[in-house]
Amino acid sequence: MKYLIFALILILLFPLYWMIIGSIQPSAGVMKLPPNWIPRNITLVNFAYIVKETMIFRWTFNTIMLNTISLCIQLFCLVTAGYAFAAYKFVGKQVIYWIFVASLIIPWQGLLVSRYILMRHLYLLNTWFAIIALNAFAPISFVFIRNYFEKIPTSMIDSARIDGAREIRILFQIILPQCKPILGYLALHSYLTAFQDFFWPMLVLNDKRLFTLPLGIVHFLKTFTSTHGLLMHQQLLGYELAGGVLLLLPAIIIFVIFRKTFRQQFLAGGIKA
Amino acid sequence: MKTNKAYFFLLPAGVFFVVFTLTPIIMMGALSLFETNYITSEFVGLRNYIDALTSPDFRQSIVNSLFYCVFTITLGTFVPLAVALTAYRYSNAYRDIVRFAFYVPSLASGVVIANAWKWIFDCRKGLANYLLSVAGIEPVMWWGHQVTAIGIISLIVVNLWMGHWIILYLAVLTTVRKEVVDSARIDGANWQQIQTKILIPLISPWVLFIMLLEIISTFQIWENIYLLTSGGPANTTATVVYNIYETGFLRSQYGTASARSVILVVIVLGLALAKNRLEKRN
């Protein structure tokens, strides 16, 4: 059984290895059968072509920029709403919470069409705001935050109030510092997914200059396939593999920088949202 | 405390929620009653629903999704279970390696993994066919048959999640007290018995939970179909969400697509309610 699992790991990880070594060989080398199991004639020609033909740096910058903006808005909305639930009793509290949770089980793909039409009516198509707006408030993250806030003793909030602290100050100076781990976790995952998702950005963005990295690479590969695909089958292979590697890079960088956080997640047995 | 301040704090989240989640939900219901494209819009009542339930391509997409489920459930639920049960038996170091190795693919996105697998199963120059030819087997048109295409896409999708489920299973398994397993051993139970009598009963609610999650996410596979098969050959690999994408965005039939979205939501809602009930029981 032990060795069977190692075999399974090898099979599942092999495509990634194959992609990486394929991307650094000239296309003819990748297509060769029997294949080179170890890369030969290492070259960056595939990457050079993508860098030359596309706005890859701009797209990377866009992805980071776009996610930073939407993350700030998202965290602001989450923290304020979380505070409302933690520090107050108000009419409709249960009902509002119930509505948030109920909306969780509606698959977002089901809302694609109506959201798209809504964006068109609001003249938000082909703007970043169409993406930011959907990220701004995620009910799933709210459930996380609320559970987290509930652990903070209300006596702490009450005593701050008795000392005369204003509400905004309580939120930012007393509550927020205690939430760093969960906010960090949300931030980390938002950057990871920003480098993965392309479905919604693809639907709402037309202007190449606004693309995110995954959307840009998918778009480049799809266009290349439809224009030169048949004639330049070999080159296409190299570019597809290189494109995959370029998309993998940000995730690896994030993973390496924040490996401690990931490690904690392993130990806690947590799963991403 | 003065309660009106609470509403002030709820405002930012509330605005986004009402405008970009609640409104689209209502719009979806409303749009599904209209025959709408870019220019015209006409009230048709429930005709879109009747069309959806009778249209061969939508029905096919539901059947396809169920077909995907067969693969995603075996690969996504039971394989991780077997891996976790084995890893549980061995040392911490081995467990760490397994956890990490299965986790790596989930760092990569669907696009990355799809690109990586696509060429391995290329019918002319792919590695898979090469290996078959070495073994003396005729090359297979991997993307040209429903079974192989769905199998490979399921594998790619599941690959992204396997690591999470293994981590989850292992976390549940480590809650079993060591003494329980040890005393069972002293009483003469072999590993097979410990597995079937102690570990599997403990973990089975989670298995069911993950199974439901897999079914829910299977109906929504889209990305890999878009990248790999575009729903072909002859619509046999399209899932429900891919079908909605086609009707809504490639054919601009918003009304029809909305009615289909409502049906998707109803299906997923039913599954999700079952899942929530399980969660409460755990």
Average pLDDT estimate for B117-142: 84
Do A107 and B220 make contact, defined as CB atoms within 8 angstroms?
A: yes
Chain A neighbors of B244, CB-CB under 8 A: 109-110, 112-113
Render pLDDT for B147-162 as a digit per residue (tens, 0 to 9): 999 999 999 989 888 8
Question: Could you tell me if residue B31 is inside a domain?
Answer: no
Question: Could you tell me if residue B61 is inside a domain?
Answer: yes
Question: Could you tell me if residue B157 is inside a domain?
Answer: yes
Question: Could you tell me if residue A233 is inside a domain?
Answer: no
Question: Could you tell me if residue B256 is inside a domain?
Answer: yes
Question: Could you tell me if residue A170 is inside a domain?
Answer: yes
Q: How far is B141 from chain A (nearest CA, A)?
A: 17
ipTM rounded to 2 decimals: 0.84
Chain A neighbors of B162, CB-CB under 8 A: 12
Residue B180: band (very low, low, confident or very high) from pLDDT cuts 50, 70, 90: confident
Q: Could you write out the DSSP letters of every residue in chain A?
A: -HHHHHHHHHHHHHHHHHHHHHHTS-HHHHH-SS--SS--S---HHHHHHHHHS-HHHHHHHHHHHHHHHHHHHHHHHHHHHHHHHH---TTHHHHHHHHHHHHTS-GGGGHHHHHHHHHHTT-TTSTHHHHHHHH--HHHHHHHHHHHHTS-HHHHHHHHHTT--HHHIIIIIIGGGGHHHHHHHHHHHHHHHTT--HHHHHH---GGG--HHHHHHHHHHHHHHHHTTTTHHHHHHHHHHHHHHHHHHHHHHHHHTHHHHHHHHHHT----
Q: How far is B2 from chain A (nearest CA, A)?
A: 8
pLDDT on residue A272: 38
Q: Is B34 helix (H, G, I), strand (E, B) or coil?
A: strand
Overall domain count for chain A: 1
Closest alpha carbon within chain B to A13: B105
Question: Could you tell me if residue B6 is inside a domain?
Answer: no
pLDDT at B281 over 60: yes
Do B127 and A18 make contact, defined as CB atoms within 8 angstroms?
A: yes
Do A5 and B98 make contact, defined as CB atoms within 8 angstroms?
A: yes
Do A244 and B116 make contact, defined as CB atoms within 8 angstroms?
A: yes
Which stretches of chain A score pLDDT less than 50? 269-273
CATH number at residue B129: 1.10.3720.10
pLDDT at B64 over 90: yes
Where on the phi/psi map is residue A34: left (φ > 0), alpha (ψ -120 to 50), or beta? Answer: beta
Q: How far is B258 from chain A (nearest CA, A)?
A: 7
Do B110 and A196 make contact, defined as CB atoms within 8 angstroms?
A: yes
Question: Could you tell me if residue B163 is inside a domain?
Answer: yes
Question: Could you tell me if residue A175 is inside a domain?
Answer: yes
For chains A and B, what is the number of CB pairs under 8 angstroms? 235
A-interface mutation test, from B119, B239, B282, most A Cβ less than 10 A away? B119
Closest alpha carbon within chain A to B27: A114
Question: Could you tell me if residue A192 is inside a domain?
Answer: yes
Q: Which of A16, A30, A96 sits opposite B116 (nearest CB)?
A: A16
Q: What is the domain extent for residue A82? A: 55-212
Do A198 and B115 make contact, defined as CB atoms within 8 angstroms?
A: no
Residue B217: band (very low, low, confident or very high) from pLDDT cuts 50, 70, 90: confident
pLDDT at B82 over 70: yes
Q: What is the domain extent for residue B51? A: 39-281
Residue B282: band (very low, low, confident or very high) from pLDDT cuts 50, 70, 90: low
pLDDT on residue B234: 83
pTM of the predicted model as reported, rounded to 2 decimal places: 0.86
pLDDT on residue B2: 56
Question: Could you tell me if residue A47 is inside a domain?
Answer: no
Q: Which of A31, A80, A83 sits opposite B125 (nearest CB)?
A: A31
Please answer whether residues B69 and B215 qualify as being in contact, where contact means their C-beta atoms are separated by less than 8 angstroms. yes
pLDDT at B203 over 50: yes
Average pLDDT, chain B: 86
Question: Could you tell me if residue A137 is inside a domain?
Answer: yes
Do A115 and B24 make contact, defined as CB atoms within 8 angstroms?
A: yes
Overall domain count for chain B: 1
Q: Which of A80, A110, A203 sits opposite B9 (nearest CB)?
A: A80
Q: Packing angle between helix A56-87 and helix A139-150, nearest 10 degrees? A: 50
pLDDT on residue A258: 84
pLDDT on residue A270: 44
Closest alpha carbon within chain A to B1: A88
Render pLDDT for B222-255 as a digit per residue (tens, 0 to 9): 888 998 888 878 888 999 999 999 998 888 888 8
Question: Could you tell me if residue A273 is inside a domain?
Answer: no
CATH number at residue A117: 1.10.3720.10
Do B98 and A248 make contact, defined as CB atoms within 8 angstroms?
A: no
Closest alpha carbon within chain B to A115: B24
Residue B221: band (very low, low, confident or very high) from pLDDT cuts 50, 70, 90: confident
Question: Could you tell me if residue B8 is inside a domain?
Answer: no
Q: How far is B45 from chain A (nearest CA, A)?
A: 17
Do A271 and B164 make contact, defined as CB atoms within 8 angstroms?
A: yes
Question: Could you tell me if residue A239 is inside a domain?
Answer: no
Do A12 and B117 make contact, defined as CB atoms within 8 angstroms?
A: no
